[in-house]
Amino acid sequence: MSQKIIPVVMAGGKGTRLWPLSRSTAPKQFMDLMGKKTLFQRTLERVGDEELYEAPIILTNAEFRFLVAEQARLIDRPLARILLEPVARNTAPALAVAALIVARDFGEDAIMQVLASDHEIVENKVYFDSVARARDAAEKGRLVTFGITPTEAATGYGYIEKGEELGGGAFTVKRFIEKPDQEKAERLIAEGGYLWNSGMFMLPVGLFLQELRQLAPEVMDAATQAVSASKDDLDFVRLDEEAFSKAPDISIDYAIFEKTPMAAVVPSPIEWSDLGSWDSVWKLGAQDDDGNVADGRTTLLDTRNSLVLSKDIHVAVQGLSDIAVIASEDAVYVGRMEDSQNVGKLVKFLASKKATAPLTETHRTSYRPWGGYTSVLNGDRFQVKRLFVKPGRRLSLQKHHHRSEHWIVVRGTADVTIGDRTIPLRENESVYIPQGEVHRLANPGKILLELIEVQTGSYLGEDDIIRIEDEFGRE
């Protein structure tokens, strides 16, 4: 019997293409898009068969580490390791690090399956048949990529031209093609023999490391040093920043697959989307009789073939066709469906302006390992937030140089440490934290603790937090 596959899930990256719901600190893999689970959680569930898979290894960055751990916990999925990339260096260095970890823990005979955490895939027999064919080809000494059988002349994906048949449903790779324009995409589909490049791989670890040493030695050297000097931090593995920063910023396609003679592609007729634009979300959604996909607080009248999403405010659309209207808690996007591939350009423009740059970075609601907060109101020398703390969790022991705080309990119970004393608070009770005073907030109860926090002072930035003690390892 073959050994189990080691899943490697890539969960880093910045969110731009599904703005305004995705932001740089909250990319699409961690979003709930018209479902009860996030794309990241559904990816973990696809590798949940314990007879086929080992527990997954997650590649992410420090900013998302607690989000990854919490979303896995919520669906009761154990993780083997969470590897933290100190800087963004594309897929080749990231997968080199993962392969070194797998080789160390499971041996170079292991097979690892690389999955993106932000793809929508229908998990059925067709999908797992493709996984089995890719695994067979990998066990026979091939670096395998999954090629999605095209359903249209899409311009948002790269293409792979398949070559000679290898048997078992695998083919050599003749060439990779960058994202084409519409005319070229239609020509490729008409000619046949071309597949969408999915960005998913099945890799025999020993062969992959061998090709890295030969074809991308700078990547391999940096990855080796980053793993050797890595440090465990709670449930995470922090790669060495100095070493990892020396790796070239290069994708696995450019570094290995376009150069190696050992590449193979497995045509995969699966229902797949990288959800890279709002029109792809519309195509996968449940359309009504007018071709509309709507979710949340929405009203549509005389509207056709449109996508309308809103959770926080009520959005009404009348007399329009082929548009996307996406409302978040602090921004609304309106555009033609045919332009939704270009949302990234709009995000870059917003990011270049001081007044709008924050809209590309964070939501009004930010999540932390203890819970999170929502910004309610900002003014000159004051701001109001809604804090929510999970049962049994507590914030760091901390102080602020430039602000004081007032806390009012709305729901649940709180233990508030101020200096050397701890005060219990119940609903409708409040407390004042003077500027410079050491303090901590904890939820000793069994339900979510909710508070209103009023901050006043000369500077109210999140970097005015001096942590004295923190159980989550933050500085």
- Tens of pLDDT, residue by residue over 151-177, are 989 888 899 999 999 999 999 999 999
Which residue(s) pair with 455 in the sheet? 383, 405
Average pLDDT for residues 379-393, to the nearest whole number? Answer: 94
Smallest CA-to-CA distance from 389 within 475, 469, 464, 452 is with 452
Backbone φ, ψ for residue 55 (5° rounding): -65, 140
Instruction: Note the pLDDT of residue 362.
Output: 81
Look up residue 219 and give its two tokens.
């990547």
**Rounded distance between C-alpha atoms, residue 47 and residue 112, angstroms:** 12
DSSP for 232-293, please give it: EETTEEEPPHHHHHTS----HIIIIITT-TTEEEEEE---EE---SHHHHHHHS---TTS-E
Smallest CA-to-CA distance from 323 within 347, 298, 345 is with 298
- Tens of pLDDT, residue by residue over 311-350, are 889 999 999 999 999 999 889 999 999 998 889 899 999 9
Q: How many helices (H) and strands (E) does the chain have?
A: 12, 28
293 has pLDDT over 70: yes
Average pLDDT for residues 389-416, to the nearest whole number? Answer: 95
CB 97 within 8 A of CB 61: no
Look up residue 157 and give its two tokens.
């994906």
pLDDT over 70, % of the chain = 99
Instruction: Note the pLDDT of residue 13.
Output: 76
Mean pLDDT across the chain:
92
For 332-361, b/e burial (b = at least 16 CB within 10 A) is: ebebebeebbebeebbeebbeeeeeeebbe
Backbone φ, ψ for residue 456 (5° rounding): -135, 140
CB 212 within 8 A of CB 96: yes
364 has pLDDT over 90: no
Instruction: Note the pLDDT of residue 1.
Output: 52
Smallest CA-to-CA distance from 456 within 407, 386, 395 is with 407
34 has pLDDT over 70: no
DSSP character at residue 21: T
Place of tokens 């405010």: 313
Look up residue 403 and give its two tokens.
């602000």
Whole-number Cα distances in Å, 22 to 30, 326, 356, 360, 462 = 9, 11, 15, 8, 21
- Tens of pLDDT, residue by residue over 213-254, are 999 999 999 999 999 999 987 778 999 999 999 999 999 999
Smallest CA-to-CA distance from 399 within 418, 382, 378, 381 is with 418
Q: How confident is the model at residue 63 (pLDDT cuts 50, 70, 90)?
A: confident
DSSP for 379-407, please give it: ETTEEEEEEEE-TT-BPPEEE-SSEEEEE
Burial of 116 (0-12, 13-18, 19+ CB in 10 A): buried
pLDDT over 90, % of the chain = 75
**3-state SS class at 367:** strand
51 has pLDDT over 60: yes
Instruction: Note the pLDDT of residue 184.
Output: 94
Look up residue 29 and give its two tokens.
């893999």
How do beta strands 236-238 and 81-85 pair? parallel
Look up residue 438 and give its two tokens.
């050491």
CB 12 within 8 A of CB 86: no
pTM for the complete prediction?
0.85
**Rounded distance between C-alpha atoms, residue 60 and residue 99, angstroms:** 15
Look up residue 428 and give its two tokens.
């409708």
Helices (H), 110-231: 125-139, 182-191, 205-215, 217-228
Average pLDDT for residues 170-186, to the nearest whole number? Answer: 92
What length is written for the chain? 475
